[in-house]
Structure 1
């Protein structure tokens, strides 16, 4: 996803900062990372408090194969719920939820 697309998606939190990382991009607001762009997909930060909401909305948790164990390593990032892509107000709810998780992270 290009910079303009990311900024549009996160317009409820303007401004966001986008930095290259891990072969993708980190998306930050006020110095806190709240999302990743990996292979063209946006993944929103969640925590124990918000992850159930993402799961209920049909999102999937991002995981990668662990190099040493070969087992999936689950990360605290979830796919954007499908309904949010067609509704800017719904997207705003989810990006704010991601930012709230970022604020709660240590």
Structure 2
């Protein structure tokens, strides 16, 4: 069966071109984003989520963003949705992704 085309995933990967060593793997009905071996992002149902820390989560909350909820019974507070204005700004998205991928 041929791989399903996902325009949003392709757009995100294109936006992250300046962040070196980014790969994408299918997982849980969406995609996991990795920089080298570090898992830092999730693409799920047309939305992008990045791993957050105590230092970075306020940036997401200031934009009114919420944690990743793959289903009604599960919430992953270590991943927050990335605001659309950040997704559309290559430099901002690259910076947010780099922060999410820091070890």
TM bracket, shorter-chain basis: 0.7 to 0.9
- 2:89 corresponds in structure 1 to 87
Aligned partner of 1:69 in structure 2 is none
Query: For 1:98, which of 87, 97, 100 is the aligned residue?
Result: 100
Aligned residues: 96
Judge conservation of contact 2:42–2:50 (CA < 8 Å) in 1. Answer: yes
Partner of 1:38: 44
Give the CA RMSD over aligned residues. Answer: 1.9
1:5 aligned to 3, 11, 14, which one? 11
Normalised TM-score (structure 2): 0.78
> Separation in 2 of the partners of 1:6 and 1:82?
11
Structure 2 residue ranges without an equivalent (≥5): 1-5
Alpha-carbon distance between aligned partners in 1 of 2:64 and 2:17, rounded to the nearest angstrom? 23
Moved more, 91-100 or 33-42: 91-100
1:9-41 superposed Cα distances (whole Å, 9 cap, x missing partner): 222312211111111111100101110111121
The verdict on how the C-alpha distance between 1:82 and 1:4 changes in structure 2, with shifts beyond 3 A counting, is: closer
Structure 1 ranges of 4+ moved more than 6 A: none
Q: If each structure's helix is expressed as a fraction of its own residues, which one has the higher value? A: 1
